[in-house]
Amino acid sequence: MATWVSTTLRIKDPAKSVPFYESNFKMKLAAKIEGAGETRYFLVRPRDDKTSTFSSDAPGSDAARRALFTRKCNYVELWHTHGSEGDAKLKYDNGNVEPTRGFGHIAFNTADVQESCDSLEAAGVDFQKKPSEGKMKTMAFVKDPDSYWIEIVRRLPETNFKEEFNLSQTMIRVKDPAKSIAFYTGHLGMRLISARHFSDFSLFFLASLSPGDAPLPPFGAERDAVLKNAWGPVLELTHNHGTEHDEAFSYHSGNADPLGFSSIGFVTQDLAGMCALLKHDGAAFADAQLASALGAVPGKVEVALDPDGYAVKLIAKGAVL
C-alpha cells in the first residue's frame, strides 16, 4: 500500500513561484532540497492550527528534510533548475494546449469563489477563466507564474473550514480510465470516491484514505459530498470518450520536450515490495536516464510509469533526500 503525497511541477523562477503560493493560497514552505544544479521546494497547505508543525524547522534544515516523508499531508513540489530564471526563451508547458495536453491543473477549494477571486485579482493574479465567464459560475481558473492552471472550486456550504483555501485536487487526462483506475487503486491503494459522466467526457476522483478515516458511504450524493468536505486533495482523472479506442492516441507526460509537469509521488512502507508487485503486474518503470533526471535514489526513490506514461515517484517512508 502507498499514500499519495505530492505533485511536482517544474518552475522557472522560485523567487516568483514560492511567494505566489505562499501569499495567495497561504501555503507553507515545509522543506527544500538542494541538489546538483537544482532545488526542490515542498509547499503544503496545513490547517491554521497545524502551521507550527511545518514552520518549526528551517525549510533547508536536516530536521525539515527528515520530517518531509513522515507526515500525513500533500505537497506541491516546485522543481527549479538553477539558471532557468535567466533564460528569456524558456517557457514550461502547462499541459493544456494541443498537441501537448496531459496534466490539467491543481485546485483549491474555497467558501466563496467570487470573493476569493476578487482578492486574487486585486493581488495581480492572472486568470484563465473568471467566475462570471462561461456557464460554470461556481469555479474559476487562475494561472501561476509559469502559467500552470489552478482551479478555484466552491466548497459545500456546510463545510466549516475557517481557512480561505485548501488544496483540493490534481487533475491529469487519461486515455483509458479502466486501466488508470486499476493502476491507482491496485497496489497504490487509492479509493475511487466519485465518478461523474457527461456526454463526451467523464471525471473520476480518487483519494488515499487512512485506516482511521470514516467509512465511505455508498456511491451517490452523500459520497459525492466527500469531495467538497475533505481537507486533503483528490486525484482527478479526466477521460475524453473514445480515446481508449484510438491506438495512435497518447497524452504528453510533461517529461519530454516541452517540459512542464513532472510527477506525482507516493510514500510506501515497503519500497522494494511495492516495486516488485508493480513489476509482477506489468507496470512500466522509467528508464535509467529519466529516473535519474527525476531524482531516483536506490532504496529511497523509484520512478514507475502509469498507463499514460506519467511519472509516479515511489518514495520510502521516512526517506531523507
Find cell 502547462 and name the residue.
94
Helices (H) and strands (E) in the chain, counts: 8, 16
Cell of residue 306, nine digits: 502509469
Total residues belonging to the chain: 321
Q: How far is CA 196 from CA 14, 171, 220, 295, in A?
A: 36, 14, 10, 35
Cell of residue 6, nine digits: 505530492
d(CA 297, CA 266) in angstroms, rounded, equals: 14
Buried b (16+ CB within 10 A) or exposed e, 188-198: bbbebbbbeee
d(CA 314, CA 268) in angstroms, rounded, equals: 7
Q: Which position among 151, 158, 163, 247 bears the catalytic label?
A: 151
d(CA 158, CA 27) in angstroms, rounded, equals: 24
Angle CA 216–221–223, to nearest 5: 15
> Is residue 85 among the annotated active site residues?
no
Neighbours of 63 (CB within 10 A): 11
Give me the active site residues, please. 151
